[in-house]
Amino acid sequence: MRRAARIITSIVFKLLFRVDVINPEKVPQEGPALLCANHNTLLDMFFLGFRLKRWIHWMAKEELFRNPVAAYVLKKLGAFSVKRGTGDVSSIKSAYKLLEENKLVGIFPHGTRIDPSNIETVRVKPGAVMIAVNAGVPIIPATVCGSYKLFSRMKVIFGDPFYIENKDKDKKLSKQEMSELSKDIIRRVYSLSEAYR
């Protein structure tokens, strides 16, 4: 199913959009990693993945899995659900398991769609920071930008992988530290669109 999805997505996107994929080589060809991206529409996960050689296992909102058919397709495509607004232990465990299997896990740190002008004021979920620190994996910032209108030009940009390290390994990161590190991820994500205007 994943092979078919990749072929269909590639054909549809080539016909309906003009997509520039910038720096896909920034995504490691192997080993565990966390891809963190902006979130504008449901198409983002397809834009981000259709030109990569690796498969992205997306953490997706629980609501998408309520329809049995959608749930079946999403699970076959490697996605797993998360309950937004709660400390969903199950989804965190799923992310750790995938990373232990050297997979590429995708997360939208904001947990929802936001206006880019509000990135400094909207609360960023700490999940990405927690997973990256505890699993010891690199974070790859990525962004999708464009109007999303049919036949328009879209840009998919990948940034340099980086690690988040807890300097005091005997002490958990404070809420303030988690918040600042989460905001830093978002800044890195949105700075990519500024760098490649």
Q: Do residues 50 and 6 touch, judged by C-beta distance below 8 A?
A: yes
Average pLDDT over residues 157-176: 86
Helix H or strand E segment including 34: strand 33-37
Q: Where are the domains of the chain?
A: 2-195
Crossing angle of helices 89-100 and 127-135, in 10° steps, is 40
pLDDT in tens, 29-64: 999 999 999 988 888 989 999 899 899 999 988 888
Looking at residue 188, its pLDDT comes to: 94
Cα(77)–Cα(103) distance, integer angstroms: 13
Residue 73 has pLDDT above 70, yes or no: yes
Judge residue 49's burial from the number of C-beta atoms within 10 Å of its C-beta, 0-12 exposed, 13-18 middle, 19 or more buried.
Answer: buried
2-195 belongs to which homologous superfamily? Glycerol-3-phosphate (1)-acyltransferase (3.40.1130.10)
Say how many Å lie between the first and final Cα of the chain, rounded.
35
